[in-house]
Amino acid sequence: MFKGSLVAIVTPFKNGIFDDKTYGELIEWHIAQGTHGIVPCGTTGEASTLDFDEHYRVIEVAVRAANKRIPVIAGTGANSTDEAILITQKAEKLGADAALVVTPYYNKPTQEGLFLHFKAVAESVDIPIVLYNVPGRTAVNMLPATVARLLQFKNIVGVKEATGDMRQASDLIRLCGDRFVVISGDDFTTFPMLALGGKGVISVTANIAPKDSADMYNAWERGDIAKARQLHYKLEPLNAAMFIETNPIPVKTALALMGKIGEEFRLPLCAMSPASKEKLRGVLKDAGLL
């Protein structure tokens, strides 16, 4: 159901308020550039700094702007199961095509706790659920065996795998089979994960290079491995630059330098250091984005 270059889209702010006009313009640009799906309210979308009403508003605007032309996979995770259920149910009512539900962070549940958490969320809604495993952010790694157990719930359809561990990705794909979609959660692992049987990426870099990111997947899907490999190496400097400082600081700064959004963050995120910003500017110039 979900494949290709799915952009983990930033949330633009203007004077401290969600800039819905700019957000809609970004989504139009992504559709024109060939992006295969929009993922609002993820890590890159600063979901952890949005209050409930803002979170719902961002999803609502994304759904309206996409207008069923490409799917919207709304970030709805929380470290409380009840809260994750609440947000996921609201996303379903707002018309999201699926929910991206991160493993609970900070409280470090066991594998059984993870299973019970996702079971409860899956049973509370009818829309498809994409699991999100990112231990570098959450301090817990959901193991392939736990993911495989969750296949008994028909609306759990995939996982955003952001460990950077190709052995774990391989185990996921081997254990879960064709019904289940494994999607890269790191731009630098997209190409190798496609080779293992993955179906795309939920991408940070696609925020600034949507066409190349989409074209890499398109080339792979039509069997043009050389072209996909070429685009992988073309994108690698941008992939690295997106993590000069904590995501989404570099990507929002890059979009601001490109004239797409205002350079505005919510604390505790803040503006890039001058040295990092100059380094980023150089990478963008080399890539032809400035």
pLDDT tens track for 193-235: 999 999 999 999 999 999 999 999 999 999 999 999 999 999 9
% pLDDT > 90, the chain: 98
Q: What is the pLDDT of residue 178?
A: 86
With beta carbons less than 8 A apart as the criterion, state whether 289 and 33 touch: no
Tokens 């110039």 appear where?
A: 285
236-242 mean pLDDT: 98
DSSP string across the chain: ---EEEE-----EETTEE-HHHHHHHHHHHHHHT--EE--SSTTTTGGG--HHHHHHHHHHHHHHHTTSS-BEEE---SSHHHHHHHHHHHHHHT-SEEEEEPPPSS---HHHHHHHHHHHHHH-SS-EEEEE-HHHHS----HHHHHHGGGSTTEEEEEE-S--HHHHHHHHHHH-TTSEEEESSGGGHHHHHHHT--EEEESGGGT-HHHHHHHHHHHHTT-HHHHHHHHHHHHHHHHHTTSSSTTHHHHHHHHHTTSS-----TT--PPPHHHHHHHHHHHHHTT--
> What confidence tens digit (pLDDT) does each residue in 144-203 have?
999 999 999 999 999 999 999 999 999 999 999 888 999 999 999 999 999 999 999 999
pLDDT, the chain, mean: 97
With beta carbons less than 8 A apart as the criterion, state whether 157 and 2 touch: yes
Instruction: Sketch out the chain's domains with CATH numbers.
Output: 4-224 (3.20.20.70)
Residue 279 known to be catalytic: no
Q: Which two tokens stand for residue 7?
A: 């952009």
% pLDDT > 70, the chain: 100
Examine the pLDDT at 17 and tell me if it is beyond 80. yes
**Active site residue: 90, 160, 252, 277, which one?**
160
251-268 mean pLDDT: 97
- In angstroms, the Cα distances linking 155 to 47, 102, 122, 178 are 23, 15, 7, 14
> What confidence tens digit (pLDDT) does each residue in 93-116 have?
999 999 999 999 999 999 999 999
**Active site residue: 23, 56, 132, 217, which one?**
132
Among 229, 58, 246, 40, which residue's Cα sits nearest to residue 136?
Answer: 246
Q: What is the pLDDT of residue 113?
A: 97
240, burial (CB in 10 Å: exposed 0-12, middle 13-18, buried 19+): middle
Phi then psi for 287, rounded to 5 degrees? -85, 0
Residue 285 known to be catalytic: no
> What confidence tens digit (pLDDT) does each residue in 20-65 have?
999 999 999 999 999 999 999 999 999 999 999 999 999 999 999 9
Distance CA 117, CA 83 (A): 11
Examine the pLDDT at 1 and tell me if it is beyond 80. no
Q: What is the pLDDT of residue 179?
A: 87
